[in-house]
Structure 1
Amino acid sequence: MIEHKQTILLAPALSNSSCWRGGITASWTGPGPGELVRATLILALSLGILCANLLVICVINSRRYSKYIHAQPRYLLTSLASNDLAIGLLVTPFGFLPAVYGCWPYGEVVCQIQALLRGALTQQSAVILVCMAIDRYVCMLHPHRYHRHSSKKGCVAVMSTTWIASVAVFGALVLPRGGYYFNGSGLLACDPFFARASLRILACCCFYFPTTMVLMYCYGSAFHVNKLRLKRVVCVNTPEVVSGGHIERLVAHERRLSTSASRTMAAMSLGFIVMVTPWTIQEVVAACTGSKPPPFLDFLATWLALSNSFWNPFLYWLLNNHFRRISRELLYTKILCRPKPLGPKQHCCATSTGGLDVCSIGGLDLSGMERCSMDRCSMGRCSSLSLANTPPPLPWETGHGGCGDSTLT
């Protein structure tokens, strides 16, 4: 009988990739065009991740946006944006100087911390996406159970527990000596090192396949619910009877909400799959064959996967009208110190306080009512007309229901 023993791999010595080898400064040559292109891409992506996720955190936690999103999805989106912000602040910028000079200039302790954060933060992003998918699935298909068990404390507890678990798992891999190495062709920073090829394959599969399957199943179910065209409210936590002509408005609102939710969730799940798939395939093939991918393909696949931290907030901005409008208002009023821009649908009754508009009660667009203009009505007449014709508030306007964000991201 022939025994097949798995080969134990050893991490490359960091001193061989250090810019100060043996205490002597290595000879740095001038960067070529390829190195400058790589460094420019890394810098641009890092700045994009920071700015985009800061915008998401500020907008979805602002008072103006509170009527379009509920507590639990807001916490999940804030957790995802905060995790992506940490990637843009603590992971991606460290690849700038190695991309220019081709060596690691920060020392061994920083390399060890970098490898730990690289593994824990990317895994936590996948876990948050799974939690968001499950949250939206339960809300769309089992609304009564969702509102009975969902809570702010539970959401915070789940995010904290998963973060501690991610750090603990990768800490056990990275903290021992030889658990990290300088990836000079892909990340251009320090990555976790797996002593066995099977561990490398297992880490890639645990990161990719469970996340992809949960996203596809949950969001596919959401599309199915959207096609049913239900004649009753599917996202309220208390049975309320809607009489008169309000049922048509209620059903129309729910259909618009479901359509926007399905589109946004499908785009975000597709973005994760598209960005992470090439890197997963590359890692599995390299681990199975024992070969090393070409530096260009390694760099492209690795940074394409990291760019998912930028595309998540970009897709949210692209598919959410309320988010775009409030983002522009915050940009003009807080950053540029200019008056709030007037959109095509704003008129004499719009307020600049960021609260309840006189002609738009509780987030409801009263498009069927008489529109007022600056030349033929006064503010007082418009206010009395709108308030007199406003129907009773709907359940989601009074805080008694609804399944979260108007896009259910």
Structure 2
Amino acid sequence: MHHKTMVLVAPSLHNMSCSHPRFDPDVWRSMDFSGSLQATIVLILTVGVLAANMMLILIINSRKYSKYIHSQPRYLLTSLASNDLAMGFFVTPFAIIPSFRRCWPYGELLCQIQALLRGAISQQSAVILICMAMDRYMCMLHPARYHKHSSKKFHFQGCVAIISLTWILSVTLFAALALPKGGYYFNPTGMMACEPFYSHASVRILAACGFYFPTTMILMYCYGSAFHVNKLRLRKAGCNVIADPERITVTEDIAESKVLTHERRLSASASRTMAAISLGFIVLVTPWTIQEVVAACTGSRAPQPLDFFATWLALSNSFWNPFLYWLLNNQFRRVGREFISNKFFCKKSPSKPQHFVSNSSSCQIHHQQGCDFERLSEKYWGEILERTLSATSLNALQKSGSHPRMDGCNGMQRGGGCGGMHRETRDISLPDL
């Protein structure tokens, strides 16, 4: 028995145009409460997407924040924020008027472009999330190889090549689906804008599952493996420290160990934030995917409030990405507050007094300025500890402290200096450890 495949036909855009006689030309008369509420939600979400992603791009590429993130995560996060920014510029604003009028006022050409961008940007964002997960997987499972072969030029070229290739593939795929006649339609219940139209239910299911399931599986595998290995590595390091506590000594390699610790802390922080962004994607897109699969299998359409909620919950992922990054990254919040206060409120951050002065012979710490050791960077902590606890540094400090007014001193006492030292020469002292 031969079964014919059901071919669906896109609804005519002319019948859904605001110029059609069945639509009231009076905008204010045609408004209702549900339409006004939906238009308000779309407007607030659009403004939030634009503001949040613009702020993320500016802060994450600022000079103050560059020391807290490696180049490749910065490129990937910038690309993801640029995609979300494009969604806020070219897709979501065009749904504000149709939200309360239930018609498309912008013409057929813009509907085609809208459908193309709606599919291509969403698919490209999913690909960037996969690239972020694979980058964190390599960084946390193979840190030596990752940092050995990483350089700014390599990272930039690799990221640009991957992002460009995936953009070309995404645009080509959805251009073939959405640009032909009948490949796009105005969705008056969910998107409130134009979307790609699939003439076969199987193609619609394949598009929804291809967008959701490969992305979800790769994200869960990469981050799950990375955090599991990192947990085992930390547990092993802790056991080694407990087994042989005498190995913890201050050596000349302390600066290098501090750098490695700092690098691992940056990698772990970036991995946690990216994992949270990926988890947010999974949570927000899951209802929309289920709705698409059920609607394609049953040949029906979800109720209008449910369709609107599921669609715009998935689109709100563009807003929650910067919010999660702000919420989970302390350094980003600190730099962000300084950036906002400087740019928008014209408040310049007070210049910090220079507590640390280093030269070849001694480390001078001025008590009059109140040196705060916790605010010194880890770069200087290694040098402070090395020079403070080194016997040769003590001898050099003792020799440099011999002054004509200090001839009566045979040695330097801890904390108070010698009794015969003149009060004006007590600039140099050792901190209590």
What interval of TM-score do these two structures reach, taking the shorter chain for normalisation?
0.7 to 0.9
Say what the alpha-carbon RMSD is for the aligned residues.
Answer: 3.2
The change in CA–CA distance for 1:115 and 1:389 in structure 2 (over 3 A counts) is closer
Q: CA deviation at 1:27?
A: 5.8
1:120-199 equivalence runs, <5 A? 120-147=120-147, 148=149, 150-199=154-203
User: Is the contact made by 2:73 and 2:270 (CA closer than 8 Å) also made in structure 1?
Assistant: no
Match of 1:31 in 2: 31
Match of 1:263 in 2: 272
The change in CA–CA distance for 1:134 and 1:360 in structure 2 (over 3 A counts) is farther
Please give the secondary structure, in 1, of the residue aligned with 2:348: coil
Please give the secondary structure, in 2, of the residue aligned with 1:377: helix
User: Is the contact made by 2:10 and 2:199 (CA closer than 8 Å) also made in structure 1?
Assistant: yes
The change in CA–CA distance for 1:85 and 1:359 in structure 2 (over 3 A counts) is farther
Q: CA deviation at 1:255?
A: 6.3
Q: CA deviation at 1:335?
A: 1.6
User: Is the contact made by 2:76 and 2:159 (CA closer than 8 Å) also made in structure 1?
Assistant: yes
> Which deviations, in whole Å up to 9, do the C-alpha atoms of 1:314-345 show, x marking residues without a partner?
000111111111111111111211222x7xxx
User: Is the contact made by 2:39 and 2:96 (CA closer than 8 Å) also made in structure 1?
Assistant: yes
For 2:288 and 2:44, the matched residues in 1 are separated by 20
Given residue 391 of structure 1, which amino acid in structure 2 is its aligned partner? Answer: G
The change in CA–CA distance for 1:122 and 1:295 in structure 2 (over 3 A counts) is same
Match of 2:83 in 1: 83
Q: CA deviation at 1:271?
A: 0.4
> Which deviations, in whole Å up to 9, do the C-alpha atoms of 1:92-122 show, x marking residues without a partner?
1111000121111101111110000000000
Match of 2:430 in 1: none
Q: CA deviation at 1:146?
A: 2.7
Q: Determine if the alignment matches structure 1 residue 213 to structure 2 residue 212.
A: no
The change in CA–CA distance for 1:250 and 1:104 in structure 2 (over 3 A counts) is same
- Which stretch shifts more, 13-22 or 142-151? 142-151
Q: CA deviation at 1:244?
A: 5.7
User: Is the contact made by 1:201 and 1:284 (CA closer than 8 Å) also made in structure 2?
Assistant: yes
Please give the secondary structure, in 1, of the residue aligned with 2:93: helix
The change in CA–CA distance for 1:333 and 1:360 in structure 2 (over 3 A counts) is farther
Please give the secondary structure, in 2, of the residue aligned with 1:6: coil
Match of 1:46 in 2: 46
Please give the secondary structure, in 2, of the residue aligned with 1:181: strand
Q: Which has the higher helix share?
A: 2
1:7-406 equivalence runs, <5 A? 7-21=6-20, 26=25, 28=27, 29-147=29-147, 148=149, 150-228=154-232, 229=234, 231=237, 249=258, 253=262, 256-257=265-266, 259-340=268-349, 348-349=352-353, 377-378=368-369, 390-392=381-383
For 1:158 and 1:92, the matched residues in 2 are separated by 26
For 2:6 and 2:356, the matched residues in 1 are separated by 71
For 2:209 and 2:38, the matched residues in 1 are separated by 28
The change in CA–CA distance for 1:65 and 1:262 in structure 2 (over 3 A counts) is closer
For 1:330 and 1:348, the matched residues in 2 are separated by 17
The TM-score with structure 1 as length reference comes to 0.80
- Which stretch shifts more, 102-111 or 27-36? 27-36
> Which deviations, in whole Å up to 9, do the C-alpha atoms of 1:374-404 show, x marking residues without a partner?
xx5239x889xx79964259xxxxxxxxxxx
> Which deviations, in whole Å up to 9, do the C-alpha atoms of 1:340-372 show, x marking residues without a partner?
2x7xxxx9537xxxxxxx6699xxxxxxx9998
User: Is the contact made by 1:52 and 1:310 (CA closer than 8 Å) also made in structure 2?
Assistant: yes
Instruction: Count residues in correspondence.
Output: 360
For 1:268 and 1:227, the matched residues in 2 are separated by 20
Q: CA deviation at 1:170?
A: 0.1
Larger Rg: 2
Please give the secondary structure, in 2, of the residue aligned with 1:15: coil
Given residue 284 of structure 2, which amino acid in structure 1 is its aligned partner? Answer: M
- Which stretch shifts more, 24-33 or 13-22? 24-33
For 2:196 and 2:96, the matched residues in 1 are separated by 19
The change in CA–CA distance for 1:74 and 1:255 in structure 2 (over 3 A counts) is closer
Given residue 330 of structure 1, which amino acid in structure 2 is its aligned partner? Answer: F
> Which deviations, in whole Å up to 9, do the C-alpha atoms of 1:161-184 show, x marking residues without a partner?
101110000000011100000000
Identical-residue share of aligned pairs (%): 58
For 1:136 and 1:4, the matched residues in 2 are separated by 48
Please give the secondary structure, in 2, of the residue aligned with 1:191: strand
For 1:253 and 1:108, the matched residues in 2 are separated by 54
Please give the secondary structure, in 2, of the residue aligned with 1:287: helix
Given residue 188 of structure 1, which amino acid in structure 2 is its aligned partner? Answer: M
User: Is the contact made by 2:53 and 2:82 (CA closer than 8 Å) also made in structure 1?
Assistant: yes
User: Is the contact made by 1:317 and 1:323 (CA closer than 8 Å) also made in structure 2?
Assistant: yes
User: Is the contact made by 1:349 and 1:382 (CA closer than 8 Å) also made in structure 2?
Assistant: no
Match of 2:408 in 1: none
For 1:120 and 1:62, the matched residues in 2 are separated by 29
Q: CA deviation at 1:270?
A: 1.3
For 1:258 and 1:334, the matched residues in 2 are separated by 29
Match of 2:417 in 1: none
For 2:179 and 2:258, the matched residues in 1 are separated by 58
The TM-score with structure 2 as length reference comes to 0.76
Please give the secondary structure, in 1, of the residue aligned with 2:186: strand
